[in-house]
Chains A and B, each alone.
Chain A
């Protein structure tokens, strides 16, 4: 069961990720991004990270992917569909990624023997304690970062009506 879940989720995630980076239509890309992210969430579930799974679905699929979709729709043009969406260094990029994959493969080979011994357990309670006790300071800092991001977003996307553009 676990391996089935793992392989199916991995397949969905990787295939849709590939489609994200290769499809010419940006709307489709965004849709497959959502699918890929949801599949990654599925992988979290397989790993027993229940809260992370929920967070992934809520933040990524429900928030970020939808936001990107909006922006794509906002900025997209019909002419985009007739334009090349990949630049002319794609072969070099492919080569680099392949070499890197070989490198990573070698390292990952060290972990083939590592198997899990314990069954997964609910983690939400524990995470909550961690966030408000040991990681309280990073937690507060993250909230500050979010606030800064909010302000930055408002600042950058703000249109000064009086100024002729």
Chain B
């Protein structure tokens, strides 16, 4: 099965082209099932690979390369040939990610059949989904950083297309533009990092780069620069502080898209890339520390913003940002396993939560939680599955989040107790706002009777994926923790220096102490939002209005970015003014004027002296000719010939006799 792993990204790509180009657009097109079938096959293949990896049948890492192109150049006068292979590289994290991406993509596509039913661009939506999945899978399996980068950008393109899927509305159009440009800002750093890698190593092959770095050939500053560059890319793609501003707006896209791209897979690409190039961070402690703090800051800020959001999808978006911050922080403190573990489990329960939210939105046609409430009776399956997802993300035993978040917190405590307490606060906030969302949506009294009246449980095509994901949200943590499977699959031996100052926590205390605190946080949430009315919550909000406003304005980061854009605009305007008024006027036009003056002088000289001289010669020969014509009769060839002979004979006499 492993030999055919290259099929996994190529089949969905092929499917997307077939869906896009083979048939006409039709709201009841059967084409989505092509994508679903292909994705099903990919899932089967991924599971086969994964089980092979787990059982030890495959020797990892598996790498296979094909020649793509090669080129030659001179380095210091010596010919040097580069070859650029394209290929697949499967290691433990890649095998997990393949299953995660194919599974979530499959479920999202099935769910979308119900959710997108009757959309005028029904077929194109599925083509985009397949295209996105193909790009994402290519990113995962590629053995070549250049190909990874290409897939990275294709993922960005699909994200742009899907966020702006309803591009007739100004919101999605604006959001897609914002997402694309913000991530592009980060990609610039990634691109520079790749250039530096090629300049230093002379190869894009991950294994070669890894050997180069682990042998210690890479200079410290280069490792730091490359690490920060890749972190830049990850900050864009995984919506980390300060580039997280695009993700909440990206919720303008269709909800299944949010589930697939902006919760489970694409935003995980940044984390995955950091993990894939972890050897570079291992070579640069400073880059590692930066990763950890970026993750921590993101986790805290995003969690605090989620507390005050009323849009159900925004809550989930902030939660996603926050959870991605957890993962990045885990990677930054050396918890390679913990980060990837949380990446896996988070993909399941966050996809579940988004799809559950989609189910709710589908039913009440609104995103605003203030208009919901009491939906648990109307939509029992959705309620139960969303509750399970929330249970999992809050980190309660025995759901998946318990294991992965616990592992992260342990690793962070080993690294620094200060970061542990901050991250713990973020984790408590997570539990608080997630349960707040559940309480506001499903419990309490119905705040909008009409919407409540029309709400109805979604069809089976939407609820079945929810149930599958709910099961996975419960068991995936336990299953991966069983016999330390995740350590076996995804582990990275850091150099000794990283473990030098380790604090050793009491695992039992962290596990259950944290869970106790989380339960307290949930209790607070219940006290404030669980009841029939929220008078207590309202009074707190009034008292802390300033804080709420800051949070609702997302700490002003959007304003900051807008202000920066405006600044850049002003700068550009100034540059334009400088260019047109100063440079053009004085230098270009002035130079032109000087040239013109010289040209005029030259022209006068030409007209007066040169032309007159030339005309004079012409006139002279004309006059001579006219004078000579007086001697000859007109038009007789022999006479001309005679004159010629006379001339020749004269020359002869002069030359030979005189």
The 8 A CB mask of B616-658 against A (1 = contact, 0 = none) is: 0000000000000000000000110010011011101101110
Total interface residues on B, CB under 8 Å, equals 13
Total interface residues on A, CB under 8 Å, equals 13
| Contact residue among A89, A100, A102 (Cβ-Cβ distance under 8 Å from B648) | A100
Considering only residues 99-132 of chain A, those with a C-beta below 8 Å from chain B are: 99-100, 102-104, 106-107
Considering only residues 569-600 of chain B, those with a C-beta below 8 Å from chain A are: none
A93's nearest neighbour on chain B, judged by CB, is B642
| Contact residue among A89, A100, A107 (Cβ-Cβ distance under 8 Å from B649) | A100
Cross-chain contact B645 with A106 (CB below 8 angstroms)? no
Query: Does A78 sit at the interface, judged by CB under 8 A?
Result: no
Residues in B neighbouring A89, C-beta threshold 8 A: 638-639, 642
Cross-chain contact B649 with A99 (CB below 8 angstroms)? yes
Residues in A neighbouring B649, C-beta threshold 8 A: 96, 99-100, 103
Cross-chain contact A103 with B652 (CB below 8 angstroms)? yes
A102 to B649, CA, bound (A): 9
The 8 A CB mask of B256-292 against A (1 = contact, 0 = none) is: 0000000000000000000000000000000000000
Main secondary structure on B side of the interface with A = helix
Residues in B neighbouring A103, C-beta threshold 8 A: 649, 652-653, 655-657
Query: Does A87 sit at the interface, judged by CB under 8 A?
Result: yes
Query: Does A92 sit at the interface, judged by CB under 8 A?
Result: yes
B655's nearest neighbour on chain A, judged by CB, is A103
Cross-chain contact A96 with B639 (CB below 8 angstroms)? no
Minimum CB–CB distance from A111 to chain B (whole Å) comes to 13
Minimum CB–CB distance from B639 to chain A (whole Å) comes to 7
A127 to B649, CA, bound (A): 36
Residues in B neighbouring A107, C-beta threshold 8 A: 656
| Contact residue among B645, B655, B656, B657 (Cβ-Cβ distance under 8 Å from A96) | B645
Residues in B neighbouring A99, C-beta threshold 8 A: 649-650, 652-653
Cross-chain contact A106 with B657 (CB below 8 angstroms)? yes
B651's nearest neighbour on chain A, judged by CB, is A103
Residues in A neighbouring B656, C-beta threshold 8 A: 103, 106-107
B633's nearest neighbour on chain A, judged by CB, is A89
The 8 A CB mask of A72-112 against B (1 = contact, 0 = none) is: 00000000000000010100110011011011101100000
Residues in A neighbouring B653, C-beta threshold 8 A: 99, 102-103
A99 to B653, CA, bound (A): 8
Residues in B neighbouring A92, C-beta threshold 8 A: 642, 646
How many pairs, one residue from A and one from B, have CB atoms within 8 Å of each other in the complex? Answer: 34
Cross-chain contact B646 with A96 (CB below 8 angstroms)? yes
Minimum CB–CB distance from A112 to chain B (whole Å) comes to 15
A103 to B638, CA, bound (A): 22
Residues in A neighbouring B657, C-beta threshold 8 A: 102-103, 106
Residues in B neighbouring A106, C-beta threshold 8 A: 656-657
A107's nearest neighbour on chain B, judged by CB, is B656
A104 to B655, CA, bound (A): 10
A97 to B641, CA, bound (A): 12
Cross-chain contact B642 with A96 (CB below 8 angstroms)? yes
A96 to B648, CA, bound (A): 9
Cross-chain contact A100 with B638 (CB below 8 angstroms)? no
Minimum CB–CB distance from B625 to chain A (whole Å) comes to 21
Residues in B neighbouring A97, C-beta threshold 8 A: 645
The 8 A CB mask of A11-33 against B (1 = contact, 0 = none) is: 00000000000000000000000
From B646, B648, B649, residue with most partner A Cβ within 10 Å? B649
Minimum CB–CB distance from B654 to chain A (whole Å) comes to 9
Residues in B neighbouring A100, C-beta threshold 8 A: 645, 648-649, 652
A109 to B283, CA, bound (A): 99
Considering only residues 116-154 of chain A, those with a C-beta below 8 Å from chain B are: none
A92 to B643, CA, bound (A): 10
Minimum CB–CB distance from A115 to chain B (whole Å) comes to 23
A103 to B652, CA, bound (A): 5
Cross-chain contact A93 with B645 (CB below 8 angstroms)? yes
A102 to B642, CA, bound (A): 17
A99 to B658, CA, bound (A): 13
Minimum CB–CB distance from B263 to chain A (whole Å) comes to 81
Residues in A neighbouring B646, C-beta threshold 8 A: 92, 96
B644's nearest neighbour on chain A, judged by CB, is A96
Minimum CB–CB distance from A101 to chain B (whole Å) comes to 9
Residues in B neighbouring A96, C-beta threshold 8 A: 642, 645-646, 649
A96 to B646, CA, bound (A): 6
Residues in A neighbouring B655, C-beta threshold 8 A: 103
Minimum CB–CB distance from A68 to chain B (whole Å) comes to 19
Residues in B neighbouring A104, C-beta threshold 8 A: 652
A97 to B642, CA, bound (A): 10
Minimum CB–CB distance from B405 to chain A (whole Å) comes to 91
B647's nearest neighbour on chain A, judged by CB, is A96
A52 to B347, CA, bound (A): 103
Cross-chain contact B638 with A87 (CB below 8 angstroms)? yes
A45 to B650, CA, bound (A): 35
Minimum CB–CB distance from A56 to chain B (whole Å) comes to 26
Minimum CB–CB distance from A107 to chain B (whole Å) comes to 6
Residues in B neighbouring A87, C-beta threshold 8 A: 638
From A96, A97, A104, residue with most partner B Cβ within 10 Å? A96
A100 to B653, CA, bound (A): 8
A99 to B646, CA, bound (A): 9
A97 to B652, CA, bound (A): 11
A103 to B649, CA, bound (A): 7
A89 to B652, CA, bound (A): 21
A104 to B648, CA, bound (A): 11
5 nearest interchain CB pairs?
A103-B652, A106-B656, A99-B649, A100-B649, A96-B645
- 11 example contacts (A-B, Cβ-Cβ < 8 A) are as follows A93-B645, A96-B642, A97-B645, A99-B649, A99-B652, A99-B653, A100-B648, A100-B649, A100-B652, A104-B652, A106-B656
Q: A99-B653, A103-B649, A103-B652 are in contact. List 4 more A-B contacts (CB 8 A).
A: A93-B642, A99-B652, A100-B645, A100-B648
